[in-house]
Each structure stands twice: as C-alpha cells, then as structure tokens.
Amino acid sequence: MTVTPTGVDHVALNVPDVPAAVDFYTKVLGLVQNFERPEFGFAGAWLDAGGQQVHLLGLPAPPNMGQHFALLYDDLNAVVEELRAQGLKVTDPVPSGPNRHQAFLSDPWGNGIELHQHPLGEAG
C-alpha cells in the first residue's frame, strides 16, 4: 500500500491570541518556539514538541467536542502535580493500556490536550 504514513509531522491549533498561546505552550507545557515559520499572511507560530510540531494559527478556536492532541512526558504524575500547582485544571491520570497513563487539560482557549506517558522505548 502506498498510503502508509511514516509519522505525524505536526498538529495545528486555532488560538485567537498567538503571543499568549506561545507563552502558555512554551512556559507551561515546555514546548520550544521554532522561529523558522515563513510569513503566511496571518498570525501564527511553530512550536517544537520532541520531534514533532504544534502550529498555532491566529484564528478563533472551535468548540471542544473531544478533539485533542497528546504530548508525551516521562513522568506524568510530576507533570500533573506541577500544572495543578500553577492553578490549571488537570484530570487525574488514568491507565490507557498496559503501563500507559493519560490525563487531560484544556488550553486557555478550550483546545483539548492529552498528557501521556508510556514506557521508554515503546512507540506511541
């Protein structure tokens, strides 16, 4: 079959305030801004997330109806504890498979974010 992806390159999120979103995703969730984004004629930013990217688009966020993307962390419990200490609402981590756990939160504009942990070396 020729239609076989080799991975996910990026996800794109609509955020009405790109500078505030860059702050949230870099300072709170640990992504790193990638300044190689070309000028597309609208506000946006590219963020690196461990080999993949999150693209922020300066547009109104759609209603959250369950859509989300997942960020992978080595110590989910510590991440949840740190985010809650910053005043964020994060669900309790729950098993999502053998030795896998997940928790959820939303960014300030309602975009769903899964926080995920699986054993080192295991593919997502």
Question: Do you know the residue count of the chain?
Answer: 124
pLDDT tens for the chain, 124 residues long, are 789 888 889 999 999 999 999 999 999 999 999 999 999 999 999 999 999 999 999 999 999 999 999 999 999 999 999 999 999 999 999 999 888 999 999 999 999 999 999 875 455 5
Asked if residues 75 and 81 have their Cβ atoms less than 8 Å apart, the reply is: no
DSSP annotation of 25: I
The pLDDT of residue 122: 56
Helix or strand (DSSP H, E) at 76 = helix 76-85
The pLDDT of residue 53: 96
Asked if residues 114 and 103 have their Cβ atoms less than 8 Å apart, the reply is: yes
The pLDDT of residue 32: 98
Residue 103 β-bridge partners: 115
Asked if residues 3 and 45 have their Cβ atoms less than 8 Å apart, the reply is: no
The pLDDT of residue 69: 95
Domain boundaries, the chain: 10-117
Confirm or reject CATH 3.10.180.10 for domain 10-117, answering yes or no.
yes
Amino acid present at 85: A
The pLDDT of residue 6: 83
